[in-house]
Structure formats: C-alpha cells, structure tokens
Structure 1
Amino acid sequence: MIFEKETTTVEFVRRPNRFQGYVMIDGEEELVHVPNTGRCKEILIPGCKVLLRAEDGANRKTRFSLIAGYKGNKLINIDSQAPNKIVDEALKNKKIKGLEKYNNICREKTFGKSRFDFKLSNDDGEEYYLEVKGVTLEENGHSRFPDAPTERGRKHLLELIDVVNTRKGAGVIFVIQMEGITTFSPNDDTDKAFGDALRFAKENGVDIFAYSCKVTETSIELTDKVEIIL
C-alpha cells in the first residue's frame, strides 16, 4: 500500500493523551493527531524520530497525523486504520495462506449482532468472517498483542466462535506493523483475559493468522507469515 499523501520525518516531543502528540517542526512545537488508542510507550519516546502524514480535511484541527515511529533503526507503523487496508490489499492479491479461495471481499459486515472487519465468500457459497488486529508491540523480534487491555478485542474472539458454530469459517489476523519479526503471542502480562479468549477461540475452530509487514516512509504491505506461540 503506497501512501497517497506526503510524509515527513520529525522529532517527537510528548503525547499528552491518546489522540494528541507534540512534535518539532521548523524549530517549533506543533500539535499532531495520533491515530492509535494503544499506549505505544516503547515507540513514542521523547526525542525519537516519527513519521507524519500531511492531512487536508476541512474540519481538522491539526495539519498532520503521526503514523509511525522509529524504535532504534526499526520503523513501526502505528496508524490504526492501516491494518484493514493492508489486509484488503493482501486478500485481493491472494497473499494470505488459507484464504486464497475467497474471491468476494466485503468490508465491515455483520453476522447476527456482531460486526466484523471482513466477510469473504466464493462462487461455491462458502463464507468466512475475518477480524483484523494491528500489532505495534515487540521486543527482540517477538511481537505481542494487545499493548493495553481490550475488552472489545476479547468480545470479538468469542463472537468468531459463534460464526464457527454455524458451520461458516472464521479467523483473526494479527497485522504486525513492522519488519524483522519471528514470533507472535498474546500479551498475557497486559491482558490475560484476551490471551485466554484467543486460546479458547483456537480450540473451538477459529483460525489465527500473524503476518509481519514491510514498512517504509512511503508504504506498508503484508509480507511474511509469523510463527504463533499461544
């Protein structure tokens, strides 16, 4: 996925709340939007380099969105809207192993009272519901999710079991928004309930996928399948 809008690298200053950050632009502090509700504490460290995307919305209060940060030499995308776009592109290009047979791809579809990121189907009448989770937390090549407790995420996993119980396919894909990742696990230290739900979902027929991404200052795309350790 090539970024359509211009990006630039600047110095990060601070993050007063979930959706706001301050950066240095032309020697002055400027408020920017942070499109991520996670903590990202190991990425957004004062003095680090971050990537901004220029915005042009008529009702915006800020000129830029902070979409990525450098953790050492590793660029980590933190845009919470990116994973669904990345998966949409990957599904169309048949890059997710196990889901290649689905040629009809629909976004934001409901099943019962639940809404999932994707509903997939094919000409044989098979249906599959897919939930997407973006991952930004890593240490020494090992990635984990979530970086903050998520009751909503746990609920999604249990709802996917409901799909499986109707003899339809269901899965969750963890989009690791960086390169150089070898393994993925649920972050039991932060949210044991989510980890338990993920393991329970796996035991009840829900597929679990984890893929890393190639990330640059102008693009991001799904690349390598990552080993899952539950």
Structure 2
Amino acid sequence: MFIENPIVRGRFLERINRFLARVEIDGEIMTVHVPNTGRCKELFVPGATVVLEKREGIGRKTPYELEFVYKGKRLISIDSQIPNKVVMDNILKGKLDKFVGYDVIEKEKTYKNSKFDLRLSKKDEVFFVEVKGVTLEENGVVMFPDAPTERGTKHMMELKKAKEEGMRAAVVFLVQMDDVLYFTPNVKTDVKFASALKDAIESGVEAYAYCCDVKENFIDIKGEVKIKI
C-alpha cells in the first residue's frame, strides 16, 4: 500500500509518552503522533532518522504521523494500524494462498471474549484470523512481543478454543521490515505469550509470518518467513 500524503524525513529526539514524540524536521522541533503504543526502545533512539507522513484534518493535534524508523540501513514500519490493512488488502486481492476461497471477509469480529482482526467465511467454514505487527529485530531475527501482552496471550488461547470447536484459526505475524532470518516468540519478554502460542500451534492453530517490502512511502507483503518456536 502507498502513502498518498506528503512524506518528510526527520531526526528523532525523544518520546514524550505512548502517543507523542519530539522530532527535528528541517531544523524545527515538532511534536508528532506515534501510531504505536509498544515500547520500540531499540528504534526510538535519539538521532535516529525517521520518516513522517504529513496529515491535515479537523481535530488533529499534530500535523505529522511517525510512520517509519531507520535502524541503521534497515527501514522499519512502526504504524500498528498497517499490519491489518496490508494483510486484509492481500487477502482481498487473492495474493495469500493460505486465505483464498472465502465468500465473506469481515473485520474485527467477536468470538467468546476476544475480538479477532478478521473472520473469513464460506458455506461450510468459519476462519478466525488474528494479525500481529512485528517491529522488534535482533541480528536478523524478528520477535513478538516487544512488551508483555496479556491481550495477545488471550488471543492465542481463544484461537485454540475456536479450533477445538471445529473452526479454522490462524495467527499472522506481519514483519514490518525486510531481510530477516526467521520469526520467533520473544520468550525473554513474555514467556506466557510464547507458551500460549506454542500450545495453540500444537492444537492445530495455524501460524504464518510474512516479511514486507518497505519504502519511505510504501509497504506490502514480500514473502513468507520461517517460524521457530
């Protein structure tokens, strides 16, 4: 998907809180919106080159949205809304062979106590899909989560329940960067999530990881990435 609004580069200065940061743009210090409430400590470092989307709209408190961060030469998308959009777009276009053949594709559908990102259905099958964005990378290995996630653990447990009740269920890890070795759950940060993911997979829940082609105004799925549990 392309970013249609104007794009500018800046220099990251500091994160103010979960939603705001200070960035230097053309010598001017600006407060910008951060569309990712995760920690991203390895990305949001003083002096990092960032890419921002200029947005204008009624009610906006900041004119810029922080969309990408350079980690060395590696460009990483940090917008937490992007993974759902990219996966949905690729499913609608029939580009992901694991997700073809469904008549109805719906967003944010509830099952038991969870709201999953997608529900695909056809006459004789319901398929729940949960999408997780991945921005944490160490030496080419990408991991999720970058902070403890009770919600993510609950999602894995309820995907397992859906599978046990005869539905199809999957988790998709969208790696918001390219040139990675493999994906693995971040056991050091959240052993409960890692355990719940392993248990879900062993119970028949499908797990897929995809890396992305990332440019300063573009992101799309590039290919599948190996998962190591």
TM over 0.5: yes
**Greater shift in the superposed pair: 12-21 or 79-88:** 12-21
> Structure 1: which 5+ residue stretches go unaligned?
none
CA offset at residue 45 of structure 1? 1.2
Given that residues 10 and 26 in structure 2 are in contact (C-alpha distance below 8 angstroms), is that contact kept between their aligned partners in structure 1? no
Cα-Cα RMSD = 1.1
Matched ranges for 1:48-127 at <5 A: 48-122=48-122, 124-127=123-126
Aligned position for 1:27: 27
TM-aligned CA distance change 1:53 to 1:196, over 3 Å: same
CA offset at residue 84 of structure 1? 0.4
Aligned position for 1:185: 184
Runs of 4+ in 1 over 3 A off after TM superposition: none
Given that residues 116 and 130 in structure 1 are in contact (C-alpha distance below 8 angstroms), is that contact kept between their aligned partners in structure 2? yes
Aligned position for 2:194: 195
Aligned position for 1:215: 214
Structure 1 length normalisation: TM-score? 0.96
> What percentage of residue pairs aligned between the two structures are identical?
46
Given that residues 132 and 174 in structure 1 are in contact (C-alpha distance below 8 angstroms), is that contact kept between their aligned partners in structure 2? yes
Given that residues 80 and 133 in structure 2 are in contact (C-alpha distance below 8 angstroms), is that contact kept between their aligned partners in structure 1? yes
Tell me the distance in 2 between the aligned counterparts of 1:204 and 1:7: 44
CA offset at residue 106 of structure 1? 1.0
Tell me the distance in 2 between the aligned counterparts of 1:218 and 1:126: 37
Structure 2 length normalisation: TM-score? 0.96
1:51-72 Cα offsets, whole Å, 9 max, x none, are: 1111112111111111110001
> Structure 2: which 5+ residue stretches go unaligned?
none
